Chains A and B, each alone.
Chain A
Amino acid sequence: MSTYFGKRIPRNEDPRLLTGQALFVDDVQLPDLAHVAFYRSPYAHARILSIDVSAALARPGVIGCYTAQDLGDYWSPGPLLVSPPPTIERKIFHQRTQVPLAKDKVRHVGEPVVMVVAESRYIAEDALDDIWVDFEPLGVVVDLEQALQTDAPLIHEDLPSNMGAQVIQEKGNYETAKAQAAVIIARRIVYDRGPSVAMENRGVVAQWDSRTQRLTVWDSTQAPVFIRGGLAAMLGLSESQVRVVAPFIGGGFGPKIMMFYPEEVLLPWLAIRLKRPVKWIEDRQENFYATTQERSQIHHCELALTQDGKILGLRDEFLHDGGAYMPYGLTVPLNSQANSLGGYIIPNYYSEFKAVFTNRTIVTPYRGAGRQHGTFVIERLLDHAARELGIDKAEIRRRNFIQPEQFPFNNEIIFQDFAPLMFDSGNYEPVLDKALEMIEYERFYREIQPQARAEGRKLGLGVVFYIEGTGIGPYEGARVQVEASGKVSVATGIGTQGQGHFTSFAQIVADQVGVRPQDVMMVTGDTDQFHWGAGTFASRGAVVAGNAIHAAAQDVRQKILHHAGEVLEAAPDALEIVAGQVRVQSDPTRSISLGKLAQRANPMRGAVEPGTVPGLESTNYFGPRYGATAFGAHAMIVEVDEATLQLKIHKYVVVHDCGKVINPLILDGQIHGGVAQGIGNAFYEQLHMDENGQLLNASFMDFLIPTALDVPHLEMAHTETPSPLNPLGVKGAGEAGAIPVGALFAQALEDALGLEINEIPISPQKLFELTATAEALA
């Protein structure tokens, strides 16, 4: 019964977005709205000796200035969002979370120190220049390896070192495996930082209505339900007094699930205090410092293999940059630890990481969330092994793949969701084969590359494989209701940042309830409408919320059939629902509309059977035992200009498997966007920071994200290996596109230039340095 599931349907949300009628946080306008700006630390590490806001307060139009002292008991470090998995035994974790306004000292550039509220944003920003803070600069830690040296300045002075966490996970015995190996491939691998650069910066609007005693917060968050619960607790309000709305969000990519940003804590407090609505909208420069980032890791890794390229074991020791605080626990490095196993049988594994505090912006998950590092490690090591052993690079992957009959496959380590790292289903070889076919692998090495070389052109091919753990718990929920109009309303707790939830979820409901997707009205991310669930992250919306919606819609279907059976005097299983009408299959003239049934299920007068539940409505939930694992292969042919070391991508193919596909059009879009972000991360985007912890390129004038000229036309293919873990058989797809791109670029550029690449991002400059080094060694 899938009229709409699996169909390429244009999106329900588009008309509002295309006509400028969609509400984003900065579009919220309220009478008497006051505006907030933040004085942020210009130092990466400094003691605050004194703060003088008197000149700011004297400026006409300034309403108030607030420091940490002014917050009184409200000042508190933020909550730990994700505790380290209790199921991991060998771990150390020092909880240090961000604070709403810096007290005593600042730990990264951009940390908020003073909150200014004024009649306009212009005046609030003017007042920032009136504020005088006396800082005593301290030694700065920006380098991961230096952070752990004994003489490094301490970022959290009550800790013995800058090590925030240490985790060891192990399966089998790597040292024994190593002793039997024919070849050991050992490398130092570096993956540097990047910001997510959502086009919409963050924002918060807060309104306290003293007559209804209710707080409303519009927040660019990916997790409105938790923001509501947290705010209620912090402010001493009942949860029912707090409404958090995540309206249309201009891109999330992970950093908008970080909680609680200082601004999210401060604006609601200020609105209640002032009895005035207040707004803060982050500007682009603030975004470079104050919105969380990701990615710096340094790996020392080695792969032990037999002569015929079978992996015996992997050892990986790495440093992970947590930034100045670690509110998100260990999700990112745990993902790296998981993805280093790739889709391969690795019988012996030793992985140890240290998460390090640095004087840099806080690190929390950003699309891929540590997965690309792990993928980079294993894919790079396999490439080097293939070369060393004289085995074809596609073939060495094929020899090590987990085989279809081995699923569910237990990797025997713990994943970020505290559950064992199990791969639910997979069939890897056809995906690799399809990518090789689409990129014309054999022809490239037989004809194209030799010919190009003969002409003096530098052409290279890359082909890599990746897995993506998606759709983790704990759970999501949804309420589905057939309204008296015959249309259907659906509410779920997760927020939406462009994933097409208004359409893909509507398709799921439409199939069950017998209406068209455009007759399904979705509400996401409004806690007055639905207040259970965790949020949009970890590629889990379609899997977890999608299946909750499916379950609720199935319930509603049963209710519809039960009520209609009474009216039409037929058995429920003799009925069908077509175009909003319930009818008897054998006699379609006997029918009733969904709208009439909905009215009948909510009578205004008369008696009902005791125990009757009104309405054609159901609320249901879904929580998987563990995540569903998607997978795929990317392949690319790239040409490097020898003079400029700029590159041109001649062909880029993606073969992806995320189980059953709800809407292929939306899925293609997700992959395209992921790849574009991956390309940025691999070749264009790097945060350049000096030794004082100052970003040197914190603007769109200096920091390049890929434009339409930099992202190639992608050729896509899909295979479908359903997940056995949920009734829809779906797996997540949000992050997949971004995961293997670094590994792909490294391999393809190596192939083109004949050098070795063990770091991301690369750039023309980096290629120049590597080429010069290679030539010097030659």
Chain B
Amino acid sequence: MITFTTTINGKSYTRTVEARLLLSDFLRHECGLTGTHVGCEQGACGACTILLDGQAVRSCLMFAVQAEGHAITTVEGLSDDPKNLHPLQQAFRDEHALQCGFCTPGILMSMVPFLAENPTPDEATIREALSGNYCRCTGYQHIVCAIQRAAGVKPKNAHPE
């Protein structure tokens, strides 16, 4: 067992865990932050994406203890208040960019740093950035629209308001 300290959504956690405990399992089952979802445990689907020191990483490909000294942001760190959404969360709602919602937290956490680096991305750039996250419900079109909306770009198939 290893004792380590990490910061999650601005709060410090010191825990003693098995070295092999995945960061995704730690977040979900030890910290109760169940917004981070697990879809493949192979780093392929992207559902478990979180921010580690501001960079998008797959929490299923890290051991919890590797987060020692790092700052983690999960989807709850964007906003965990359904009545007060983060602008990207709001854009996803406005554009109907989620259906079952299982992959959504991972996509949000991938897109936050992407938009920080690409404030006005074109559709091709968005699709390239999105290609690391699987979604089985939406066909991606409304997700692309939501990211455009969040970036202040008019979505291609802008809906009549």
Residues of A within 8 A of B (CB): 8, 10-11, 13-24, 26-27, 29, 122, 196-201, 248-253, 283-284, 497-500, 665-666, 668-670, 672-677, 699-701, 705, 707-709, 711, 713-715, 737
Nearest chain-B residue to A248 (Cβ)? B101
Known pairs A673-B137, A708-B130; A14 contacts B102 (CB<8 A): no
Q: Which residues of B lie under 8 Å from residue A13 when comparing CB positions? A: 101
> Are A20 and B140 CB-contacts (below 8 A) given A11-B93, A122-B18, A500-B99?
no
Assess whether B47 is in contact with A199, with CB atoms less than 8 Å apart: yes
Asked whether, in the complex, the Cβ of B141 is within 8 Å of the Cβ of A498, the reply is: no
**Among B32, B45, B74, B157, which residue has its beta carbon within 8 angstroms of that of A199?**
B45
- B127: which A residues are within 8 A, CB to CB? 708-709
- The answer for the CA separation of A18 and B106 in the assembled complex, in Å, is 10
Given contacts A10-B93, A250-B37, A708-B131, 7 further A-B contacts (CB under 8 A): A14-B98, A17-B98, A19-B35, A19-B85, A199-B100, A199-B103, A251-B137
CB B17 to nearest CB in A, in angstroms, measures 11
A671 to chain B, nearest CB (A): 8
With CB as the reference atom, state the residue of chain B lying closest to A669. B96
Nearest to B107 among chain A residues (CB) is A708
Given A24-B102, A284-B41, does the pair A18, B139 have CB atoms closer than 8 Å?
no
Chain A, Cβ-Cβ closest to B74: A20
Set of chain B residues within 8 Å of A666, measured between Cβ atoms: 96
Q: Which 5 A-B pairs have the closest CB atoms?
A: A20-B35, A250-B102, A498-B100, A17-B101, A672-B139
- Restricting to B107-161, which residues have a CB under 8 Å from any CB of A? 108, 123, 126-128, 130-144, 156-157, 159-160
Given known A20-B74, A700-B40, contact A708–B80 (CB-CB < 8 A): no
With both beta carbons as reference points, the residue of chain B lying nearest to A27 in the complex is identified as: B34
Q: Count chain B residues whose beta carbon lies closer than 8 angstroms to a beta carbon of A.
A: 66
CA distance A731 to B134 in the complex (A): 29
Given known A15-B82, A676-B139, contact A20–B33 (CB-CB < 8 A): yes
Q: How many Cβ-Cβ contacts under 8 Å join chain A to chain B? A: 193
Q: Which of A10, A122, A197, A675 meets B94, CB within 8 Å?
A: A10
Tell whether, in the assembled complex, residue A676 and residue B140 are in contact, meaning their CB atoms are under 8 Å apart: yes
A498 close to B101 (CB less than 8 A): yes
Q: Is B11 an interface residue (CB 8 A)?
A: no
B20 at the interface (CB under 8 A from A): yes
Q: B156 to chain A: closest CB distance in Å?
A: 6
Residue of A250, A666, A674, A676 with most partner-chain B CB within 10 A:
A250
Q: Is B57 in contact with chain A by the CB < 8 A criterion? A: no
* Cα–Cα, bound, A675→B130 (Å): 18
B68 within 8 A of A: no
Distance (whole angstroms) from the CB of B58 to the closest CB of chain A: 12
Chain B proximity of A737: nearest CB distance (Å): 8
Q: Write the chain A residue with the least CB distance to B101.
A: A17
> Given contacts A19-B35, A26-B28, A122-B18, is CB(A14)–CB(B134) below 8 Å?
no
Interface residue ranges of B70-109 to A (CB < 8 Å):
74-76, 78-83, 85, 89, 92-94, 96, 98-105, 108
Q: How far is the CA of A18 from the CA of B29 in the complex (A)?
A: 19
Bound-complex Cα distance A649 to B99 (A): 24
18 contacts between A and B (CB under 8 A): A8-B160, A11-B93, A14-B93, A21-B35, A23-B34, A24-B37, A29-B34, A198-B136, A199-B135, A199-B136, A252-B100, A668-B142, A699-B44, A701-B44, A707-B133, A708-B128, A709-B127, A711-B141
- A709 near B101: Cβ-Cβ < 8 Å: no
Given B20, B34, B40, which contacts A20 in the complex, CB threshold below 8 Å?
B34
Q: Are A24 and B131 in contact (CB under 8 A)?
A: no
Most chain-A Cβ atoms within 10 A of its Cβ — which of B32, B38, B80, B100?
B100
Is A200's CB under 8 angstroms from B100's CB? yes
Q: Which one, A16, A21, A669, A707, contacts B99 given CB within 8 A?
A: A669
In contact, B131 and A18 (Cβ under 8 angstroms) = no
Residue contact A711 to B139, C-beta cutoff 8 Å: yes
- Min CB distance, A409 to chain B, in Å? 31
Q: Kindly state the separation between the CA atoms of A179 and B101 in the bound complex, as whole angstroms.
A: 55
With A11-B93, A199-B47, A700-B45 in contact, is A20–B75 under 8 Å at CB? yes
Q: Are A199 and B134 in contact (CB under 8 A)?
A: yes
Binding site for A on B (CB under 8 A): 18, 20-21, 28-29, 32-42, 44-45, 47, 74-76, 78-83, 85, 89, 92-94, 96, 98-105, 108, 123, 126-128, 130-144, 156-157, 159-160
What is the CB-to-nearest-CB distance from A195 to chain B, in angstroms, rounded to a whole number?
11
A714→B141 contact, CB < 8 A: yes
Q: Which residues of B are found within 8 Å of A198, using beta-carbon distances?
A: 100, 102, 136
Nearest Cβ distance between residue A710 and chain B, in whole angstroms?
8
Distance of A132 Cα from B137 Cα, bound (Å): 40
CB distance from B141 to the nearest CB of A (A): 5
Do residues B139 and A200 form an inter-chain contact, with CB atoms below 8 A? Answer: no
> Which residues of B sit under 8 angstroms from A27, Cβ to Cβ?
28, 34
User: Across the interface, do B75 and A19 meet the contact criterion of CB distance under 8 Å?
Assistant: yes
Contacts A19-B79, A284-B41 given; indicate if A673 touches B139 (C-beta within 8 A): yes
Closest chain A CB from B24 CB (angstroms):
11
A776 to B9, CA, bound (A): 63
Across-interface contacts of B144 in A (CB, < 8 A): 708, 713
Chain A hits for B37, CB < 8 A:
24, 199-200, 250
User: Which listed residue, B39, B89, B140, B141, touches A200 by the CB 8 Å rule?
Assistant: B39
A residues in contact with B103, CB < 8 Å:
199, 250
Residues A251 and B136 in contact, CB atoms below 8 Å apart: yes
Centre residue among B103, B134, B136 by max chain A CB count within 10 A: B136
Contact of A675 among B44, B102, B139 (CB under 8 A): B139
Q: Which residues of A contact B135 (CB under 8 A)?
A: 199, 708
> How distant is the Cα of A556 from the Cα of B132 in the complex, in angstroms?
48
- Chain B nearest CB: distance from A285 CB in Å? 9
Inter-chain CA distance A198–B102, complex, in Å, is 9
Cβ of A18 and Cβ of B140 under 8 Å apart? no
Residues of A within 8 A of B40 (CB): 284, 699-700
| Cβ–Cβ < 8 Å partners of B18 in chain A | 122
Contact yes or no, B100 A672, CB < 8 A: no
Contact pick for B138, options A122, A252, A676, A705, CB 8 Å: A676
Instruction: Tell me, rounded to whole Å, the shortest Cβ–Cβ distance linking A164 to chain B.
Output: 30
Complex CA gap A713/B148 in Å reads 14
Are B105 and A20 interface neighbours, CB within 8 A?
yes
Q: Contact between B96 and A283 (Cβ–Cβ < 8 Å)?
A: no
Given the complex, which residues of B lie within 8 Å of A673, measured CB to CB?
99, 136-139
Task: Give Cα distance in the complex from A20 to B140, angstroms.
Answer: 20
Q: Which residue of B lies closest to A201 (CB)?
A: B39
Contact between A499 and B99, CB atoms less than 8 A apart: yes
Residues of B within 8 A of A122 (CB): 18, 20-21
> B42–A701 contact, CB under 8 A?
yes
Cα A673 to Cα B103 in complex, Å, equals 14
Q: Which of B41, B101, B130, B156 has the most CB of A within 10 A?
A: B101
Chain B: minimal CB distance from A542 (Å): 14
Q: How far is the CA of A700 from the CA of B159 in the complex (A)?
A: 34
Cα–Cα distance between A708 and B80 once the two chains are bound (Å) = 27
Residues A21 and B80 in contact, CB atoms below 8 Å apart: yes
Most B CB contacts (10 A, CB to CB) among A11, A20, A668, A701 go to: A20
Query: Could you tell me the distance between the alpha carbons of A24 and B105 in the complex, rounded to whole angstroms?
Result: 13
Q: Are A18 and B96 in contact (CB-based, < 8 A)?
A: no
> How far apart are the CA atoms of A506 and B59 in the complex, in Å?
36
Query: CA–CA, A450 to B35, complex, Å?
Result: 52
Shortest Cβ distance from A712 into B: residue? B141
A713 to B123, CA, bound (A): 10
Please give the distance in Å from A11's CB to the nearest CB on chain B: 7
If A27-B34, A199-B39, A200-B102 touch, whether A10 touches B96 (CB-CB below 8 Å) is yes
B-side contacts of A18, CB under 8 Å: 75, 82, 85, 89, 92-93, 98, 101, 104-105, 108
Given the complex, which residues of A lie within 8 Å of B42, measured CB to CB? 284, 699-701
Which of A14, A200, A677, A699 has its CB near the most chain B CB atoms (within 10 A)?
A: A14
Q: Which residue from A19, A251, A283, A499 sits with its C-beta under 8 Å from B82?
A: A19
Bound-state CA distance A602–B157 (Å) is: 49
Looking at the assembled complex, report how far the CB atom of A391 sits from the nearest CB atom of chain B, in whole angstroms. Answer: 33
Pairwise interchain contact B137-A498, C-beta atoms closer than 8 A: yes
Contacting residues, chain A, for B140 (C-beta < 8 A): 672, 676, 707-708, 711
